[in-house]
Amino acid sequence: MAKRYSLLLAGLALAFLARVLGQALVAFLQVGWLPPMDRWYSGLLPYPVLLPIQLAILAVQARVSLDLWRGSGWFASRRPRGGAWLRRLALAYFLAMVVRLVATSGGRIPIFFHWVLAAWLWLLGRAFARGGP
C-alpha cells in the first residue's frame, strides 16, 4: 500500500517539477515554445523568492516518496490525525484556488499546479491515515 502511495505522490511531484522547469525555462532562457512568463507567474512572490520555495517543495516531495517507498522514515509512519488534518487542508486549498479562478481572469497555469499540490497534500493525508508499514 505504501509503495502505491509513493508512486502516486511521485507522479504528482513530477507534474509539479514540470511546472517549475517550464517556468524556469521561460524565465532564464526565454524559450518561445512555452507560454510567456505572465501566464506561468501570478506575481504574488518575486520569482527569485518563489523558485527556492518551489525547489524546497520538490525536495520534501522527494523525501516523502522515498520514505513511503522504503517503508521507513518519518513520512512512512501511520498518522491518522495528521492525515485527516492534511485532507481538510488540501480541500480548503483546492477550493481557494477555485475561488481564485472565478475571481480572476488569468493565472490558469499557476492555479492548475496549485490543484496538483492540493491533490498531493490530500493523497499524503490518505497515506498517513491508511498507509504505513
pLDDT digits 0-9 by tens, 37-68:
888 877 788 999 999 999 999 999 999 999 99
Q: What per-residue confidence (pLDDT) applies to 131?
A: 61
d(CA 84, CA 14): 24
How does the average pLDDT of the chain come out, rounded? 92
| pTM, rounded to two decimals | 0.92
d(CA 38, CA 115): 19
Portion of the chain with pLDDT greater than 70, in percent = 97
Q: Is the pLDDT of residue 72 over 80?
A: yes
C-alpha angle with apex 93: 25 to 83, nearest 5 degrees?
Answer: 110
Q: What per-residue confidence (pLDDT) applies to 38?
A: 86
> Phi/psi of residue 32, each to 5°?
-90, -15
Mean of the pLDDT values across residues 97-126? 92
Identity of the amino acid at 30: Q
d(CA 26, CA 21): 9
**Distance between start and end Cα atoms, the chain:** 9
Centre a 10 Å sphere on the Cβ of residue 126 and count the other Cβ atoms it contains.
Answer: 18
Q: Is the pLDDT of residue 133 over 50?
A: no
Mean of the pLDDT values across residues 89-115? 91
Closest CA to 86 of 25, 35, 129: 129
